[in-house]
Amino acid sequence: MSISYRFVEVSVAAAAAAAMLCTVAGEFWNTDFYFPRATQSGTPPADWPQCPPPPARCRALEGRINSTDAYYKYRVDEMLLPLYRKGDEVTLSCKDGVSLHSGSLPSFSGMTSVSVVRLKYCDLPSDSYAARLALLNVSVTRDLELIFYYKQKPTISKIQFEGLAIDYLRIEYETSVQNLYLADGWLEPLTELTRLDVSHVSLPPMPASNRLRDVSVHGCTARGAWGGCGRLRALTAAELRWQHAAPPRWLAACPRLRALRLRATHLYRRLLPTLAGLHSLRILEINYGLLGFNDGDTLTKLFSELLQPLAATLEELSLIGNDLGDVCELDGHDVKLPLRLPALRRLSLANSGVTRLCDSWPQDLPALVHLDLTGNTIETVQYRDLKWLGARQSQLLLSDVGSIAYQQSEYSELVRGNCSELGVNVSISGWLQCDCRVYWAARALAACPRHARLVPPPGCARLR
């Protein structure tokens, strides 16, 4: 095979700022993805931070600046300090140990306002971040992101956030062995903050006056009650622990809470007391929460104590990764999870050990448009299941399915109805066990191939 190369001509002036584009086998190839760009050495442009005059120990090394993003490296106090800028975002990386209190830091010539400031591995200032950024002639108007690495062990208090008017704060501690400590009252100065994302921190109760609407916590340890949450609308908590036992009615004082997403937050028998008092939720996820068949008391009460009070508002429910087993009613065992939720539109029971679509679901879940049963072995999918979901545009996700079963009467109904199409899209990622049980389903798919949209088309497993 011959390969033709055609280099796109660029002017000498533009060559330093533009990638080389080639045509290889009829396709464009951007050399930027494979080879480093030429860098600019020496003094950065006038609109970039400049080193202060001696005796400051600062020297501009090299950088790259174009129309979309830029970086420049400085040597400050004999340590490397990269500064990145992309659009309206500025990132400062202090990994080599440069201090925000150094008198040798480069700064913009005039006050520069940016939407996002990201500080990676920088030391915790003894005063406020606003004061430290002001020495760089930088002010942040929207997002502040703070990333600490495992050797840093700061205690963050409210003094660090004095003078900031930001909407979003992210604090990431890059270790799961210990937690970064947030002092009581640390959030009080951030009166405009509406979004908070923290990982691996020791989390005190929120102040009563906060304006937080959307909060995400990962790998954190809570020191007691949640605190003020009058405006909270969405909470995501992954691997959350409590310093002491999880408090009862943890979020009952959050009247506007509409979405609660829990992942690997193991409350065991304290789940229902902790989540008691929730109202008006639209989205509830309890994924990988160690709910299971062996915890019969919790599972039996999950509907009556938690889900039933939410029946009028709950639109999305996810119980991924819990060992639920067969949740259908009237199935002969004692543990059942009734799902009488008339407003529910999305249900995910992926990797939960369910074995079938319950006969009661068409009546109990009349609004459902998305059903995820992937990661389970479903013995049989009935035509009535497809007809129920096909009454509206919907999606059914499956992995391992033994059979698709139609009755002769259902096949005849389809043919007499001129192969009326169902509104359901069915995705089966595994192979069917094709035996006599699929006869009428095969006849129906042959006579009316578009009556149910199976993507990809089902295939038969090899006979052993």
Task: Tell me the C-alpha distance between 408 and 412, whole Å.
Answer: 6
Task: Tell me the C-alpha distance between 126 and 101, whole Å.
Answer: 9
- Residue 309: what pLDDT? 94
Return the closest-CA partner of residue 321 out of 250, 258, 372, 389: 372
Do the beta carbons of residue 171 and residue 180 sit within 8 Å?
yes
What lies within 8 Å, CB to CB, of 70 at 6+ separation is 48, 63, 64, 84, 85, 86
- Residue 313: what pLDDT? 97
Edge-to-edge strand ranges of the sheet holding 241-242: 155-156, 180-182, 201-203, 221-222, 241-242
Domain spans of the chain?
A: 39-149, 371-463
- Residue 462: what pLDDT? 62
Q: Work out whether strand 424-428 and strand 400-405 pair parallel, antiparallel, or are unpaired.
A: unpaired
What are the pLDDT tens digits along the chain (464 aa)?
A: 444 333 333 333 333 344 455 555 445 455 444 544 555 666 788 888 999 999 999 999 989 877 677 889 999 999 999 999 988 999 999 999 999 999 999 999 999 999 999 999 999 999 999 999 999 999 999 999 999 998 888 899 999 999 999 999 999 999 877 789 999 999 999 999 999 999 999 999 999 989 999 999 999 999 989 999 999 999 999 999 999 889 999 999 999 999 999 999 988 888 999 999 998 999 999 999 888 755 667 777 888 899 999 999 999 999 999 988 888 865 455 557 889 999 999 999 999 999 999 999 999 999 999 999 999 999 899 999 999 999 999 999 999 888 889 999 999 999 998 898 999 999 988 777 787 878 998 899 899 988 888 888 777 776 54
pTM above 0.75, yes or no: yes
- Residue 110: what pLDDT? 93
Return the closest-CA partner of residue 426 out of 447, 408, 445, 407: 445
Please name the amino acid found at residue 360.
Answer: S
Angle between helices 408-416 and 439-447 (to 10 degrees): 10
Q: Which string of DSSP letters, residue by residue, matches 9-31?
A: P--HHHHTTS--EEEETTEEEEG
- Sign of CA pseudo-dihedral 340, 342, 343, 346: positive
Return the closest-CA partner of residue 238 out of 254, 220, 251, 222: 220
Return the closest-CA partner of residue 232 out of 250, 197, 259: 259
